Amino acid sequence: MTVNVGVIGVGMIGKDHIRRLTTVLAGAAVTGVTDVNLDAAQQVADGVPGGANVHSNGQELIDDDAVDAVVVCSWGPTHEEYVLAAIEAGKPVFCEKPLATTQQACRRIIDAEVAFGRRLVQVGYMRRYDAAYRALKGVVDSGDIGTPTMLHSTHRNPSVPGHYTREMAITDTAVHDIDVARWLLADEVVGVRVLKPRKNSLGGELEDPLFILLEMAGGALVDIETNVNIRYGYDIRGEVVGETGTASLGSGGPISVRRNNLVSDRVPEDWRERFIGAYDVEFQEWIDAVGSGGTFGPSSWDGYAAAVVSDAAVEALHSGERVAVELGEKPALYS
C-alpha cells in the first residue's frame, strides 16, 4: 500500500523530508503541499515526482481525500492548529519538534488524541532512530554498565540564525537532549537548573553556552551543554555513566584520516548531515506504521514532557534558581 502524504511547511526541513519521502523511502507518495509562501509551495510541488497538489492552507490539505497522513514542518507556533485539525480528521500526523510551543497547547493535543481513543500523533525526535543512539540505548538497557548515575549530553552548533533567542537554546536546541535523557534513562525529569558559563563573544547578546542540569526521578543527573556558535561544526556527544561502566556515542564520521602525524575525523556541517540516517529510519518506520496500523514513535506525551521541562528550564535560566518539574498523570493511551 502507498501512503499518500500531505506536507505543511516547505522550508528547510520540509523540503528535506519531501526529498526522502519521494526519492529515498519505500511505500510513500507526496500528494499535497502547502506553505504560507505559496510560491515556494508551488516550486516544491513542481519538483515532486508525479506532481503534488498545492493547497491554499493547511486545513484544506488535511481535508483532502488524496491525503492519508500529514507531516507538519511549519514554524513551531503553528503546530498546535494543524495537529488538532489532523486528529479531528482522524488522520495520522507526524509533527516536527516541538509538538507545540506551550505545555498548555501540548495538553490540548493530548486531550484531543485521548478523546479520539487511538494514537495518531508522532513527534520528530529523530535521535531515537539514530544508529549510535540506538546502540547506546541497547547497552544501557542490557544492564552491562550497571544502573545509570549520570548522562553527559553535548549539543554544539557552528552558528544559529539571526532570529535565534536565548530561550531557543533550550526550547529549540536542548529539547532534543531532554527527549534523549527521558528515553535513554526511561525516567522523567523532576527538577532543573541552568548555569551560565562565560559568554562566547561570537554569540553577540545570546546567553551562550549554557549548562543545563536535569534531575531525574530515579536520582540520575543529566548535564546538557548547549553551545551554538562554536564554528568548528555540528558536534553531538553523549555518555552514560553507570555503576560499573560507561558507554558513549562514537565520535567522528565514517572515516578517519591519518597523515602528517595527525588523525582527523569529519565533524558534520549541521543536523541534516549528522542525522541523515536517523531521519530516513524515522520516516520509514512512520510510513510503515501508518500503512500497517502499527505503533508510532515519540508520542504527544513525549512532546508534552519535553515542553514542560523546557518551560521549567527557561524559568530557571531567568531566575537562576532550581525549578521543580511536575508532569501530572500520564493517560493510559501513552503507557
Q: Which of 4, 31, 34, 153 binds ligand NAI (CB under 6 A)?
A: 34
Whichever of 6 and 14 has its CB closer to ligand NAI, that residue is 14
Q: How many CB atoms lie within 10 A of CB 243?
A: 10
Give the distance, in angstroms, between the CA of residue 58 and the centroid of all CA atoms in the same chain: 21
Q: Which does 238 bind (CB under 5 to 8 A by kind): ligand ISE, ligand NAI, none?
A: none
Q: Which does 9 bind (CB under 5 to 8 A by kind): ligand NAI, ligand ISE, none?
A: ligand NAI
Per the CB < 8 A criterion, the answer to whether 26 and 284 are in contact is: yes
User: Of all residues in this chain, which one has the CB nearest to ligand NAI in the complex?
Assistant: 11
For the chain, the helix, strand and coil percentages under 3-state DSSP, each to the nearest 5? 40, 25, 35
Question: Can residue 75 be called a binding residue for ligand NAI (CB under 6 A)?
Answer: yes
The span from the CA of 244 to the CA of 94, in Å, is 39
Q: Which helix (H) or strand (E) holds 141?
A: helix 131-142
Q: Which does 34 bind (CB under 5 to 8 A by kind): ligand ISE, ligand NAI, none?
A: ligand NAI
Question: Can residue 129 be called a binding residue for ligand NAI (CB under 6 A)?
Answer: no
Three-class SS of residue 207? Answer: coil
Q: Return all residues near 312 (Cβ < 8 A) that are at least 6 apart.
A: 189, 191, 192, 323, 324, 325
Question: Can residue 12 be called a binding residue for ligand NAI (CB under 6 A)?
Answer: yes
The span from the CA of 122 to the CA of 300, in Å, is 7
Grid cell, residue 193, equals: 537548573
Question: Can residue 209 be called a binding residue for ligand NAI (CB under 6 A)?
Answer: no
Residue 253 C-beta: closest distance to ligand NAI, Å = 18
Measuring CA to CA, which residue among 125, 111, 110, 67 is closest to residue 92?
Answer: 67
DSSP class of residue 145 equals T
Residues 79-98 that bind ligand NAI (CB under 6 A): 96-97
Question: Can residue 11 be called a binding residue for ligand NAI (CB under 6 A)?
Answer: yes
Name the site residues for ligand ISE (rule: CB under 6 A).
157, 172-173, 176, 271
Q: Which does 130 bind (CB under 5 to 8 A by kind): ligand NAI, ligand ISE, none?
A: none
Q: How many CB atoms lie within 10 A of CB 266?
A: 13
Task: Single out the segment in contact with ligand NAI by CB under 6 A; choices: 11-19, 203-211, 235-243, 285-293.
Answer: 11-19
The span from the CA of 272 to the CA of 157, in Å, is 12
Q: Which does 233 bind (CB under 5 to 8 A by kind): ligand ISE, ligand NAI, none?
A: none
Whichever of 12 and 135 has its CB closer to ligand ISE, that residue is 12
Note the residues at the interface with ligand NAI (CB under 6 A).
8-14, 34-37, 40, 58, 73-76, 78, 96-97, 124, 126, 172, 271
